[in-house]
Structures are given as structure tokens and as C-alpha cells.
Chain A
Amino acid sequence: MSRYLARPLVSRYLSSVSSHPLHVCIVGSGPAGFYTADKILKAHEGARIDIIDRLPTPFGLVRSGVAPDHPETKIAINQFSRVAQHERCSFYGNVKLGSDLLLSELRDLYHVVVLAYGAESDKDLGIPGESLSGIYSAREFVWWYNGHPDYSSLKPYLKRSDTAVILGQGNVALDVARILLRPTTELASTDIARHALSALEESSIRKVYLIGRRGPVQAALTAKELREVVGIKNLHIRIKETDLSVTPADEEEMKNSRARKRIYELLSKAAAAAGTSEADPDQRELHFVFFRQPDRFLELDERMGHVSGVNLEKTILESVGSGKQIAVGTGEFEDLNCSMVLKAIGYKSVPINGLPFDHKKGVVPNVKGRVVSHPLGSLSQTEPGLYVCGWLKRGPVGIIATNLYCAEETVESIREDIEEGVCKSAKAGSKGLIELLEKREVKKVEYSGWEKIDAKEKQMGSERNKPREKLVTWDDLLAAAN
């Protein structure tokens, strides 16, 4: 069904300011990029959009982040594909901002540049032993099992012991716990990368600890994911009843957030159910550990350079005003042995030359999506024609849907600026981009190239009862695209 029929409501946004096309470039083809493109196409009949991505494949974290056992979450790709195939929109993959072209060059070619390239780095703990082998960020592990071409050769240590520790209790932490603990027979029919399935089939990990520095009321996971993990067959959930006692501040937090309250109730139910059942030796275990923060990583002498455990400090909660509680160390420590650690404590955006960046928050400083010229300067001085959307704008929080409203806000700022006459002069747009890329011999992958990759993956997948068998190296992806 066509969603691009002209409608009276939309036409009030029609740009009557200029008679030449509005050239837009969006950097990043994940949800933020695609929702931005969708809204600009609908709001401006004269807009022509190029979406560039450093990967040959579009869709960002929908392809490389959403867990293999969550196929319904990937359905969003259908709408994004329709946007990419719109006559006024083009996708160019294998084009990297900073290497293949500069931000200043993009701003010369396009009236509007929207940076939506997300957060491809990680928060660090900054504690001793963090560089021991066997310690990975959840992002690296997720990209590994999802076949991201930068991490296919990660080779995580899955055979050294039966225990893995995950630091963090958000949905990414739950994703990686599930992938570690689900029977591989269940994973075999998903789009998990082949090298990951093989490695997991030989994995000795049977116990996973999810460590949070605060309590169950503050846990960052959400109800759907918790419900799912508690419902996994033959997975024994362990939660200490004592961790479930709540403070008055906790009660207040739950009163103000129905999500928090429902999660607490689910955890309580899971703890009660766990308390009455016996773990049999073959069962896999998922432990929720609250009120513990990592102090340092441990290594045994005979396995020099490899992690053998985490030293954890017990914490208590302290109110810091406006309903927020933080974790404070008590000086009491305990060790937890393991052979693998996954840090799921948050992503971080990567700055690029020529782009104002707030290193403290890890985002591009902006006001409603308009990039602010100096992170510490006046908020009213913004860079003309330069915008941000998604995690690069808001920080690495939220779900796919969050980008819908984020894009709406950024596109509204763009619309206001166009009415103010920001985009008066003609620009080269796509034509200029293609000339530049040709001059630099960049092998861009167009949407039709992605369709070839897509077809090949689906065909390979059908031979193995999987929705697709992902191509996981740069060479294979680029070869399939051409």
C-alpha cells in the first residue's frame, strides 16, 4: 500500500521557498537515518535524499544488534526498504565519512546533512585488569554472533570454564545471556552467524551471572525481555530474596514509573519460583546479582593475561535528589570466578574531525537536532544545515521506536530552518557525491547491490533451514554486491 500519496495535511509543509531540489545527505542507515529520510520525503516534495553507510549493508543495529532469536523486531526493515527504494531516495553503502570523504565536503554538496551514525564504541569501567583477554564489550560479542564484518574473527573464549559474568542488566545484557544459555538447537534455525553457532555448540558455559551495581527497582532491562528469559525451558533463574527488599525511595520510583513497578513484580515472581525448585546438574543457570560493582578483574598466574574472575564490592543505595538513587561502595568485597566477562554498560559515540563533540556525554551537542557550534559555548549558535538524529544526538538509550520521535523533532528543526531561508543556493547533491566517490575510486554499494547480498544470504539460509545465512567478511559482502 502506498504511503506517499499527497495529503492535504502534509502539503502545509511543502517548501515554497526555492525552486531547486532540496539536497539531503543522511549519514547512517539505521532506524534514526531511515525515520529521518521517511519524514523528510513526506514533508518536502522537492527533497532528494542520499543515505550513506560505512557498511555495504543497510539497517544499522536492526541487522547487527537485534538478537537472532528476536526476528519480529527486525520487521522494521520492511518499512526502511520501502524508503530506500523511493524514487527520491538512494542508498550508498561502503562509503565512510572521515575516510572516503570529509564532513566539510558533504556540507558543500548538500543543503542538509543529518548525522545518524549511532554509537560504535563502548563505555569503559576504568578498573584494573580491563585489558585481560576474555573480557569483551557486549557490543563486540553481539557483532560477532550477528556476523558484523568487523568482528567475525573475534573468537571469544567459550571453553575455559562453565561460568561467564555479564556486567550490566539492560536488554543487551539479557540478549548476550540468552545467546550464551539457549540450547544451540534453538539457535540453529535463526540468522545467527555460522561461526558463532559452531563456537556456541562447543561452549562449556553453563552459568551466567548478570551483575548490577544497584537493585531490582533500578534494573535497566524491560518487561518483555525479562518475561522471555524467565520463560526459557530448563533455564534455572536465581535471584536472592534479600535483594528484593525495597527502600522508601524505591517505592517512590515504582510509583512514578509503571514500567519499573512491573519489572520489580516480575523479578519477585521469578525469585519466588526459583526458591522452590531444585537445580539439577544439567540445567543451565542465570543468576541476577544486585548491589555489586566491579572493583578489578582477576587473573591466575598459570593463565597469565587471561581473566579468571571479578572482584566485586557490595553496594548500598544513596538518594541524590529528584528521586534518583546511586550505588555507593561499602568496602566489603567478594570474588566471583569466571573465564569470560562481557561488559554491557553502555555504548559511546565516536567523534569525527570537524564535528563539535561533548566528550563527557559522548554525544554531539545539539538543540532539537541542530548541531551546536561549540560544546561549551552558547546554545544559540548552531551550524547551518547540520543536524543529528538517533544515539549520536540523544546518547545510546531507547528502542527502535524512540528514533521515530527523535526524527520527528530533527525534521521539524530542518523544516523551520528551510522556511527561514537556510537553503537558498543550489547544491550539487547526488551528482556531486557520485563524482567525488568515483574520483576517489570508492566502490559504493547501491540498494540493488544490497538486494544481491540479501538474495544470496536468503538462498544460503534456505539450504540450512535458517531465514538467512549472513555473509560475514568485507570481501564476501562486496563480491556478492557486484
Chain B
Amino acid sequence: MAGQEDPVQREIHQDWANREYIELITSSIKKIADFLNSFDMSCRSRLATLNEKLTALERRIEYIEARVTKGETLT
């Protein structure tokens, strides 16, 4: 009995260690995935703000160009 316990025990210990290792890996994977998603979202929102500013700038420039050109290239 004692002889049997030892290898089984060893195996079970080993198994527990493996599982902990795998758990570590998978939780890191989840953290990476979370990070990627939040990075994506924040990047998109910043790009959207940039887009807004760009559009506003473009409209202003269009208007200024129309004001400045003395009727040369009025479309």
C-alpha cells in the first residue's frame, strides 16, 4: 500500500503542478486578449476624435479658400 501511494502521490503532485502551469498560461492569454480589446477600443475612439477634428479643419479650409480666391476657381 505504501509503495503504491508513493508513485500515485507523485503523479498527482506532478499533475497539480502541471495544472497550475497551464492555468498560469491561460490566464496570461486572457490578459493579453483583454489588453488587445481595450487597446482597440481606445485607439478607435482617439482616431474618431482625430477624424472629427480633421473634418472640421477641412471645412474651415474650404471656406477660407473660397474667401481668398478672387473668383478664379469658383466651382
Q: Do A and B actually bind?
A: no
